[in-house]
Amino acid sequence: MGEVGAPLIAERVDSTTWYSGVGIAETVDMIVVEAGSWVDGVLGGVGTVAETAVWVLDPLGALVTAGFGWCVEHVEPLSQTLDWLAGDPDQISANAQTWHNLAV
């Protein structure tokens, strides 16, 4: 039998950016980049307000948290361990897109 067309199978796309793991940057990104969806805009706005409150009330704690989050996203052994425990979110998205393509 011939091979099924490749467009049905979605490729894994790495979604890590330079600011991944830094909560306030990610919530601002939800507002600015994902402006097409009102749900993302509202969630990004609520998240940005909450993150701003955290940075105002406890700047040192927020800085430590942002540094730890950045390390978990960008230091390979930490990110591999987290992916092993919880699953690779980029691969899960690719699998979901593949099933969507098959359904369509």
Q: Give the pLDDT confidence of 10-32 residue by residue, as tens digits.
A: 888 888 888 888 988 888 887 87
- Give a yes or no: residue 41 inside a domain: yes
Asked if the structure places residue 91 within a domain, the reply is yes
**pLDDT classification of 1: cutoffs 50, 70, 90:** very low
**Alpha-carbon gap, residue 16 to 40, rounded angstroms:** 18
Kindly state whether residue 12 falls inside one of the protein's structural domains.
no
- Position 52 pLDDT exceeds 90: yes
**Residue 92 belongs to some domain of the structure:** yes
Query: How much of the chain exceeds pLDDT 70, in percent?
Result: 91
d(CA 48, CA 37): 16
**pLDDT value of residue 36:** 67
| Nearest residue to 24 via CA among 47, 57, 41 | 47
Query: Does residue 24 form part of some domain?
Result: yes
Confidence of residue 2 (pLDDT cuts 50, 70, 90): very low
Q: Rounded to an integer, what distance in angstroms lies between the CA atom of residue 73 and that of residue 52?
A: 21
- The total domain count for the chain is 1
Q: Residue 34 pLDDT > 50, yes or no?
A: yes
Per-residue pLDDT at 72 exceeds 70: yes
**What pLDDT is stored for residue 35 in this prediction?**
60
CA angle 87–90–94, rounded 5-degree value: 105
Q: Is residue 79 in some structural domain?
A: yes
Query: Are 47 and 27 in contact, with CB atoms under 8 Å apart?
Result: yes
Print the domain residue range for 77: 18-103
Residue 28 lies in a domain: yes
Contact status, residue 90 vs residue 15, Cβ threshold 8 Å: yes
The per-residue pLDDT for 5 is 55
Residue 13 is assigned to a structural domain of this protein: no
